[in-house]
Structures are given as structure tokens and as C-alpha cells.
Structure 1
């Protein structure tokens, strides 16, 4: 029976309600600034400096989105036709389409069955003389095994591109997400942990030459000092001054919001860990290398659980219902006869629960009790 209580949304429409005045002030400030510079202005520079200090890294370059951040890195590294980049077989489309976009070939490696991030052993088995880079992605609430992947890249002379789009604020073994690779990225699309009211991303790197090239590529190949002098074939991937102003003002609350996400996630995991025998498995517990942008269960009866949650007043979401090698756009690039059983299982079983920081304790408990109730009920007879 459907509950009469208001539905707890997965994508909350009031995500920026507390920031309404902040956003309006940012729009007015930029729009009335005598400089009249709406992209790549002094606010963007200050935002880059803030993140550079946060991460204790050489450079941060703001750009149009997390996806184009990956494209800029691949271009700056000279990865092109004939090259291969090893990526996870489970995750978001940019892991494959950015590689294909520079003419290279994505090579899909299977994932760890519990953490859902790329399996380093599976990745190593796919290295060939054509391999130029590894591109692991942090997934849901777990960072990839960056120490092993860093060692793997070094051992084989490969570039390491860290897709840390979802993981801002996460720290693994004392080192921030985004700083393990030769370059990393963050995304600021609204549902990310440090999201904003629009698209945006950054490239993070400790390589000054790579940073210099990325800065040119994001702005049509111009070097910044000489407008209309184009040194490279670049992109239009420039950061918006309104978003920069908004993020600068909102940044002081990031730690508090991340802590609330982690608190909700810890509650879920504590309550759901005993459910493995009933076919419901939470992500691994802990805080090291964790980034609770999304909280994702594995459920053997995923679609039934989703319906059960909806009937009990809680929305949920499926990321991602098909492994990348099976997507129509990417299947032609997949190796014939390839096998990705863990990625395929994740696509069948993953289900994400609400974890945004302004959930009340009562709402968190409603979601929790709904999952527990589903697990306790007998499975239907086939």
C-alpha cells in the first residue's frame, strides 16, 4: 500500500534553497561588475587558487565540465588514434566517450565485485604496447585503489588519469582524491558533493607543462597572454564567473556537508550489513578513501526493492543499468569475446539511496526501515 507521507526524493528540488540569496547576489555581482567579464575572470582565478591550496597541488584549471576536463587531459597528453586507454567496464559514459573523442580506443577492465571500482589485476592483464594510460574512476562512495594503480602505471610507463569527478573531499591514506594521478578531475554539476547551479569542472595536476597545455586547450588554444593567438586546436571549455562566485562563497560549508553525508552513510551501512544473507549488500564501511556523493547498495532483487521503496515513500535511482562495453555507442570498441561479469552484475543489482546532507534523521530512518522491511519479507515464489 502506498504511503500518504510525502515522498523523500532522490534528486531534491530544494538542493540550493538555503543558498538562494547567495546565488542571486552572485548573479548581480557578476552582471554589474564594471569589468563585464563573464568567463575566466578574477573569480575563476580565485576559485582555482582556493582548490590549489585545499589540495596542496601544483595547479588547478577550471573548465566547462568534468567530461571536458577528461577530454582536455587526454588531448594535453597527446593520446590519439592508435592508442589505448584502460577504463572501468562499469561507470559513466565519459569514461569511454572522451577516449573515443580523441580517436583512441577504450579498453574495458572488469571491476571489483564489492567496491565496484576498477580491478588493478584485470587492468594489468589488458596492457599492450599500444596502451598509453590508465583511467580509473572513483565510484559512488569508494575511491579506486590508487596506490596499486599508481604503482602499476609507473611499472609500465603509463600515464595515470584519475577520474575523481565524484570524489571531491575524499582522502585516501592521507592524500586527497584528484592528486594521485598525473592529472585528476572534479565535476560541479548540481548533484555532486560540491555541486553548483550549472555545469563546471576542474583539472587537477602536479605537472606544470600539462597544466599550461590544458589552460590553452580550454580556451580555443589561446595562451592567455595574447588574445586571438591560437597555438593549439582547442575547445570552448571555459568556467563561468557566476558559478565561480557561488562556489567561492559556498565552499566554507563543504566540510560540514560532507560530514553529514558520511554520517548518513555510516548509519545505512551499520543497519544494512547484516542483510547480505537476504541478498542486499551495502558498500564497504569506513572513511578512508570514501566519498559519499552517492550511497549504493547491491540488491539481488533490485527492481523489486526500488518498487518497495517507492511504495514506502522513498525514491531511489539506478546508476548505471548497463555495463559500458554493452552500450550501443561503445560496443564496437569493446574487445571481441571480452568478459566483464562483475560489471554486468553491478549493472543488474546497483541501487542508490538518498544521501544528501539536508535529509532529516527521520527521513533517513524511513529509508532505512523500508530497506530492512524489504529484506525481512519473504521473496516471491517463482
Structure 2
């Protein structure tokens, strides 16, 4: 049995739909392939589903972060507090804005940023708090929202992996001044290409991002540039494709959640064997991938590979230990929980195309490994 980490045929069920929209837009009399009526409809649909003032579809989740920081006028001399554990754009977008990323440690079990660590790093140069959701758990947004309000700083929510997740009745992406999504193919609402979106309840912020995504043009007067911008425009074929697939998104999310719940139930008794699943429940949970903490992580990954099961390491190093960002980290600062996670995290397949039998096979393999290694000393 071969069970890849991501499905080999990601959009197999949507092949006819994709061919249909390619033909429709390719033959459309308007011959508009970016930022047309389908993009506008896609933005309205997302905005209505989230209950927010504005959604701006753009070229990627990374460019979404970059443009929001720019719209918030983050620049030289400013600091942005980010998690020490996460994806490179958390730090790169801040540095590309000319500002300094300040790395906060994470919580040891959930692996999301520790609000207390964030609070300790807020200073006179802090302009934005930028928490990121991890692969199984949303950041503690109620505490971070209160922290941002108390200190008078902006809150930018990196919800690239968490579209569709909800915490205390509020969707991911809607807690801060702005949130961002990523639609790269393997995400929960991924598509066959690159794309992202900025979500905001602040119309002025949304308008600033809308200018920035198209070279500073307002979409009405071509070749009139109101500010220096970017090329981060959304594709009409992808917009039409996503619009027609959105109705099935809740069912796909529910399937991911059921798989995750099954894993967590099966792994609940493995802590003494060195395997720790994420916290149970659905509130504040997102299952783009499903992440364990394992004391013998590399051995488990190899064990699964021998049985045809794909697994993945997110991330092998904390951000401030990466060569690209180490020089920008605060001298003498330590991130013990991020280091702990980097040495132990392992993600398992959780995509909705998995059958019940395949899910059971993956869980059986993890449990068998844990039981065989339970009596061995921790490496």
C-alpha cells in the first residue's frame, strides 16, 4: 500500500470542472484572465461567508502578508513579534518590509506562539503582533487580541493553513486587523496553482492592499499609479474554479476533522511511549496536516516510509536558527520550546481522499511503532 503524504491526484474529482472553466474563460469575449468578474465574485463569496468588510484576492499567502505589512506602514525601525517556529514568510515578509522580526517562543504541546512570550517582547518599537496558526491548532487569539489592544499595536493573523477553522464562533482570519489565507494546491482550500487572500474588517486597510496588489493602480484608471505596488494579481480561471468548488469545502473540512479525531483517539495512550498527539476537540482546530510530537521522530518517519506511508517534518529548525534569519535574532535569546518541537514534530496524512481503511492503516503503523519502542530509552 502506498499512502503519500499529499494525495497523488489532488484534483482528480474536479478535472472536468477545471477543463470547463478553462474553456469558458479562454473563449470569453472579455478575454480577461486576471482581476475580472470571477475574482470579484470570489472575493464577495469569501467576505460573505466570513462576515468581513473586505477580501482581497492576491498572488500568494506570502504576498498577502507582505502587502498587509506595507499597508500598515511597517518599515525601518519597526518591530514585528512573530513565532520562533513556523514558515519562512513570517520572518521574510517583515525583513522585506525593512522592519525587524522579534521571535517569540511557542507553547510546548500545541506549538503555537506563547502569548506570554509575545507580551514580554513588546517594546516601544513594536508595531504589529503576527501570530500564526499551526497545522492542528489555532493560536490563542483571544489573549493575543487583548494583548494587541492593551499595547495599541496592530494584529495581523497568519491563517494561511487554517481557512475554515473556527475559535469561539469566530473564523480564523477574522480576529485581527487583517488575516491572510493561502490557496496553494496542498492547503485545505487549495487550488491547482498559487494564490492567497487578505481578509479584513478595516475598509481602509483593504483598499490599501487592493492598490498594492496591482502596481498601485485603483482598477479604474489604468496606468495611473497612486503608490508603489506589486504584481500580486489573482487568476480568473482559479477564481471561477474556487467559486464552484466552495460548496464542497465544509464536507472536506469535516472529513479532515473526523480523520484527526480518529488519530487522536488511537494515539491518546501513547504519551509514555514517546508519542504525543495534538489536543482533542474541534474548537480552535485546523487539520491542513496532522502533527504529532515524537521522541523518536526520525525513526518513526523511516518506519512509516518502509510501510509506504508518507510523513513530513515541519520544521527542522526554528526560524531564528535558520541561516537566512539568524543574524536578525535578538542576541542571547533562547527558544527552548521551538527547539523541542523542531526535533520532534512529524505530520501524518489527513487529506479527505483517504479511505477509512487507509486511515486505520496509518494509525496502526504509528501504534505498532510506539509499542515496539516503549521500553527503549529516550534518544
TM bin (shorter chain): over 0.9
Aligned residues of 2:7 and 2:353 also touching (Cα < 8 A)? no
Give the corresponding residue for 2:367: 372
Q: Over residues 60-114 of structure 1, what are the superposed CA-to-partner deviations in whole Å (9 max), with x where a residue is unaligned?
A: 0000000000001000000001100000000000000000000000000000001
1:157-210: per-residue Cα shift (whole Å, max 9, x none)? 000000001111111000010000000001000110000000000000000111
| Residue segments in structure 2 that go unaligned for 5+ positions in a row | none
Please give the alpha-carbon distance, in whole angstroms, between the structure 2 residues aligned to 1:176 and 1:191.
Answer: 20
SS in 2 for 1:49: helix
| Residue correspondences, number | 377
Instruction: Please list, as runs of the form range in 1=range in 2, the aligned pairs for 1:330-341 lying within 5 A after superposition.
Output: 330-341=325-336
Secondary structure of 2:197's match?
strand
In the alignment, is residue 242 of structure 1 matched against residue 237 of structure 2? Answer: yes
Structure 1 partner of 2:68: 73
* Per-residue deviation, 1:380: 5.4
Matched, 1:153 2:132: no
Match in the other structure for 1:233: 228
How far the C-alpha of 1:133 sits from its partner, in A, is 0.5
Q: Does 1:86 align with 2:89?
A: no
Match of 1:9 among 1, 4, 16: 4
Counterpart Cα distance in 2 of 1:299 and 1:102: 36
What's 1:212 paired with? Answer: 207
* SS of residue matched to 2:270: helix
Q: What's the RMSD between the two structures over aligned residues?
A: 0.9
| Alignment-derived partner of residue 105 in structure 1 | 100
The aligned counterpart of 2:324 is 329
Distance apart, 1:223 and its partner CA: 1.2
- Structure 1 distance, partners of 2:248, 2:10, is 14
Match of residue 280 from structure 1: 275
1:312 to partner: Cα distance = 1.9
| Matches for 1:78-227 after TM superposition, within 5 Å | 78-227=73-222
In structure 1, distance between residues paired with 2:356 and 2:144: 38
Whole-angstrom CA distance in 1 between matches of 2:223 and 2:183: 29
For 1:342 and 1:275, the matched residues in 2 are separated by 21
SS in 2 for 1:235: coil
Match for residue 47 of structure 1 among 37, 42, 50:
42
CA–CA distance in structure 1, aligned partners of residues 274 and 242 of structure 2: 40
Instruction: Work out which of the residue numbers 53, 74, 84 in structure 2 matches 1:58.
Output: 53
1:273, CA displacement in angstroms? 1.2
Paired residue secondary structure (1:79): coil
TM-score by length of 1: 0.98
Paired residue for 2:309? Answer: 314
Cα deviation code 1:202-247 (max 9, x no counterpart): 0000001111110000000011121110011000000000100110
- State how far apart, in whole Å, the 2-side matches of 1:291 and 1:54 are: 17
Distance 1:71 1:300 in 2: 36
